[in-house]
Amino acid sequence: MQTRDILGVGAAVLAALAIPVAAVAQSASAKAAVDAAKAAGVVGEQADGFLGFVTGAADPALRSAVAEINAGRSAVYAEAGAKSGATAAAAGASAFINAIQPRLKPGQYYKPAGGGWMKK
C-alpha cells in the first residue's frame, strides 16, 4: 500500500472513530467489562484493530462484550474503507496505528502484526 493510500485510510478511520459510541454498537456495560479486562491483562488490542484475548480464560459475559465491541469496530472499518477506497482490513490496521495504539495505557497489552502479545 502506498503512503498516500495509508494516509487516506487513516483519515477515513479517524473520521469514522469520531462517530458517537452508540453509533458503533458499544454498550456502556460492554465497554466497562472490556476496560476492566484490559486493565487486568486479559484482553488486549490487536494490529488488525480488533480486541483479542491475551489469555484463553474468559467468562461468557466478557466474550460477549468483546464480540459486541468488535462488531461495532467492524462496521466502522467497513464504512471507513468504503469511503477511502480501501478494504475494511486496511482501515482496521490503520485504526490500530493511528488511533488505538497511541491511546494504550501503561500495563495494557497489544499484539503487533506478526508478533505475540506485548505489554506497554
Does position 16 have pLDDT exceeding 90, yes or no? no
User: How far is 50 from 74, CA to CA, in rounded Å?
Assistant: 8
Torsion angles phi and psi, residue 7, rounded to 5: -65, -40
Does position 7 have pLDDT exceeding 70, yes or no? no
Q: How many structural domains comprise the chain?
A: 1
For the residues 64-84, what does the mean pLDDT come to?
96
For the residues 34-52, what does the mean pLDDT come to?
97
pLDDT at 57: 78
Range of the domain at 41: 3-119
Quickly state the pLDDT bin for 26 (edges 50, 70, 90). confident
Partner residues linked to 51 by β-bridges: 45
Q: Which pTM was predicted? A: 0.81
User: How far is 119 from 45, CA to CA, in rounded Å?
Assistant: 11
